[in-house]
Amino acid sequence: MENTPIISLENISVSFDGEIVLKDFNLSIRNGEFVTLLGASGCGKTTTLRIIGGFVKQDFGDVFFNGKKINDLPPHKREVNTIFQKYALFPHLNVYDNVAFGMRVHGKSESQIKTTVHEMLSMVNLNGFEHRNVNLLSGGQQQRVAIARALANEPKVLLLDEPLGALDLKLRKDMQAELKKIQQQTGITFVFVTHDQEEALSMSDTVVVMDKGEIQQIGTPQDIYNEPENAFVADFIGESNILDGIMHEDYLVEFAGHPFKCVDKGFQTDEPVDVVIRPEDIDVVEPDASHLSGTVTSVNFKGVHYEIIVDVHGFKWMIQSTDYQEVGNRIGLSIQPDDIHIMHKSEYSGMFGDYSSFSDEMDEESQLEGKEAEI
Ligand SMILES: Nc1ncnc2c1ncn2[C@@H]1O[C@H](COP(=O)(O)OP(=O)(O)OP(=O)(O)O)[C@@H](O)[C@H]1O
């Protein structure tokens, strides 16, 4: 891959009606990368795409394409195509003519167009649909036509704005796999927008987690899931138990009223931190003195596992286990040091999880003995 990013957004800020929508936004996208902008409704994902496409002009900052500043380049001169959630096909044209449209505008020959249309329709599994009326196609088929039409223009970058949002779950999953395959086959850079974290994790090379116009974390799906940088990312991606903690020294953190070994270092002594533990990383054990223990308050069957809520001195822990538990059972929780994720406090601290201070009301049964207690 080349070193110069294909797209680079530098210090971009945008406001609408006095409301800041993107704040000092910096993002570099490599050629051939599948990048997903992930965040809740209104966080600025579409605005970011529209800046790349040239449909919105930033108040501050620069947009670069292959190292060249393109702030003033109009949308039709950018080598970028957009696919929207609503397929925006031409209703009076059949499938063939929809896919051929852009190429005709660019004056390609009919024989060239024919070859490309067949190639594109075959890529999206719509061979034989050439003469169909697009209004009579299913949602999934219409979205395939939209993808074929966009790819036929040979964009360097494809911007996809929640393209699967209108599809039902099964179709959505199939299309996720197909889109990923198409991206790998064509090598075109995809910038994909979704608010669905599973979709982002399963499709992307790089995920950009956004909130209120700012980037919270950029990383591979594995980084984002396993090493969330703050409580917002931990909460937004997957399920998390997020607790207040105090870092005593390297590799030793206190939370839930007890010291735990961990694998993190480099924090200040006695620094307040957020501690994140994923529900699937907690094992159910006997409720003895060397483990946190609590009472099961609810059990939900989720197909591959049970989601179990355990009340430990007022904090509701979520755990996932393949073993059923009765409501009212007393159980112990075992957590390995490398499953304890420590992060600096941020503006999101305290907004998630169900922590309440309980150190003064611990019962004897769950008292842990000494600093070296292995949880
Ligand atoms: N042209 C506009 N004029 C005024 N406000 C706008 C305009 N475009 C976007 N906004 C506002 O900017 C904010 C960010 O919008 P944007 O569409 O970028 O968010 P989003 O993350 O894509 O959300 P969604 O997932 O709902 O599409 C929203 O509060 C939106 O109402």
The answer for residues whose C-beta is within 8 angstroms of residue 22's C-beta and 6 or more apart is 12, 13, 14, 44, 47, 48, 51, 58, 213
Q: Is 209 in contact with 224 (CB distance < 8 Å)?
A: yes
Full set of structural domains in the chain with CATH: 7-226 (3.40.50.300), 240-366 (2.40.50.140)
CA pair distance 186, 149, nearest whole angstrom: 14
Q: Is 320 in contact with 283 (CB distance < 8 Å)?
A: no
Q: Is 350 in contact with 229 (CB distance < 8 Å)?
A: no
pLDDT of residue 2: 54
Whose tokens are 């910096």? That residue is 26
CA pair distance 128, 110, nearest whole angstrom: 18
Going residue by residue through the chain (375 aa), what tens digit of pLDDT does each one get? 457 899 999 999 999 999 999 999 999 999 999 999 999 999 999 999 999 999 999 999 999 999 999 999 999 899 999 988 776 799 999 999 999 999 999 899 999 999 999 999 998 989 999 999 999 998 889 989 999 999 999 999 999 999 888 788 888 898 899 899 999 999 999 999 999 999 999 999 999 999 999 999 999 999 999 889 999 999 999 889 999 999 999 999 999 999 999 999 999 999 999 999 999 999 999 999 889 999 999 999 999 999 999 999 999 999 999 999 999 999 999 999 999 999 999 888 877 765 333 333 333 333 333 333 333
CA of 216 from ligand 1 middle (Å) equals: 18
Query: Ligand 1 pocket, 90 CB below 6 A?
Result: no
Ligand 1 atom showing the smallest separation from residue 17 Cα: 4
Q: Is the ipTM of this complex over 0.90?
A: yes
Query: Ligand 1 pocket, 43 CB below 6 A?
Result: yes
If you take atom 24 of ligand 1, which residue's CA is the nearest one? 41
Query: Ligand 1 pocket, 165 CB below 6 A?
Result: no
Q: What is the pTM of this model?
A: 0.86
Ligand 1 atom showing the smallest separation from residue 48 Cα: 18
